[in-house]
Amino acid sequence: MERVQREKLATMTVNRGEETSSSTSATAIDSSNIGFQLLKKHGWKEGTGLGIAEQGRLEPVETYVKKNKRGLGADRIKKTTLLPHKNSSSEHNDASKESLPSKSKTKAASKRIKKIQEKEKQLQEKEFERAFFREFWPDNV
């Protein structure tokens, strides 16, 4: 009884696969293709789908080259804008506008300083290691 149900399910999926595959616009794999040759070598028959009940896709999935570097799934570039706070005095707004660029400059400068300090620390550690290991080297090397 279960076997009959499995066979019915397999035939239903094969029929659905034929309906969806006929609506796709992808072209079949050429016989000179390496993938085609490998499939043939391992027992695949042309015009059938992959899988136990041969219910899989008949045409390959269409591919395209992604030319932008925004990442997968990204449609648009997100632009973030800083909006000034709405206060009654215009002088306060001018002062806050002037402080924003200086904060970003100080952040960038502090990041650079931190990177330089980290590099110096790494160089000092390497030099210490070299000096330590050189103590144990034989004199004739």
Residues 6+ apart with CB under 8 A from 56: 17, 49, 50
Task: With CA atoms as reference, report the closest residue to 22 among 50, 67, 57, 73.
Answer: 57
| Rounded Cα distance, 43 and 50, in Å | 10
Give every CB contact of residue 53 below 8 A, 6+ residues apart in sequence. Answer: 10, 11, 13, 14
Listing DSSP states for 65-77 in one string gives: ---SSS-TT--SP
| Prediction pTM value | 0.28
List the domain boundaries for the chain: 1-61, 93-141
Q: What is the pLDDT of residues 16-68, one digit of tens each?
A: 444 444 444 556 677 888 988 988 898 888 888 887 888 887 777 788 887 77
Average pLDDT, the chain: 72
**89-98 pLDDT, tens per residue?**
555 555 555 5
